[in-house]
Chain A
Amino acid sequence: MALGFNQKLEQQQEPAFFVRGPSPFARLVFFSALSLALIATDSRLQYLSNIRQHLVAMLHPLQVIANAPSQLYHDVTDYFSTQSRLVNENKQLRQQALEHSVALQQLNTLALENNHLRDLLKTNQALAETSVLGEVMYVGRDLFRKKIIVNRGTQHQIIAGQAVIDATGVIGQITRVFPYSSEVTLITDKSLAIPVQIERNGLRAIAFGRGRDNTLDIPYLPANVDIKTGDKLVTSGIDGIYPTGLAVATVTKITATPDSAYARITCTPTGGIENHRHVLIVSMPIRNEDPSLEAEIDLTTPAASTKKEGNKTNKKTAAKPTIKPTKPNAAE
Chain B
Amino acid sequence: MPQSNFKTVYISLLMALIFLLVPWSGFALKARPDFLLLVIIFWLIRAPNLCNVGTAWLAGLIADLVTGGIFGQYALAYTVTAFFAVVYQRRLVLFNHTQQLLYVFILLLISQFTLLVLKVMAGAEVWGWSYFLPSLTGILLWRLAVLLGLNTGGRARGT
Contact = CB atoms under 8 A, between A and B. Distances in A.
The bracket for how many chain A residues form the interface is 35 or more
A4 to B, nearest CB: 16
B54 A39 contact: no
Nearest to B49: A20
Nearest to B19: A66
A41 B64 CA distance: 14
Contact of B72 (A9, A37, A56, A141): A37
Given A25-B83, A27-B52, A28-B53, A143 B23 contact: no
Contact of B68 (A62, A183, A274): A183
A39 B79 contact: no
Interface string A126-159: 0000000000011111111101010000000000
User: Chain A CB within 10 Å — which of B48, B49, B67 has the most?
Assistant: B67
A3 B86 CA distance: 18
B87 A24 contact: yes
A48 interface: yes
Contact of A42 (B57, B70, B131): B70
B54 A31 contact: yes
A222 to B, nearest CB: 26
Interface in A1-58: 9, 13, 20, 24-25, 27-28, 31-32, 34-39, 41-43, 48, 52, 55-56
Contacts of B148: none
Contacts of B119: 144
A66 B23 contact: yes
Contacts of A28: 53, 79-80, 82-83
A52 B71 contact: yes
A70 B18 CA distance: 13
B30 interface: yes
Given A24-B87, A69-B22, A143-B29, A35 B72 contact: yes
B140 interface: no
Given A20-B49, A24-B83, A62 B72 contact: no
A65 interface: yes
Contacts of A48: 71
B48 A38 contact: no
A42 B22 contact: no
A143 B71 CA distance: 16
A240 to B, nearest CB: 26
A49 to B, nearest CB: 10
A190 interface: yes
A279 to B, nearest CB: 15
A204 interface: no
B90 A139 contact: no
Nearest to B52: A27
Interface stretch (B3-11, B98-106, B121-129): B121-129
A267 to B, nearest CB: 19
A4 B33 CA distance: 37
Interface of B: 14, 17-26, 29-30, 48-49, 52-54, 56-57, 60-61, 65-73, 75-76, 79-80, 82-83, 86-87, 90, 118-119, 122-125, 127, 131
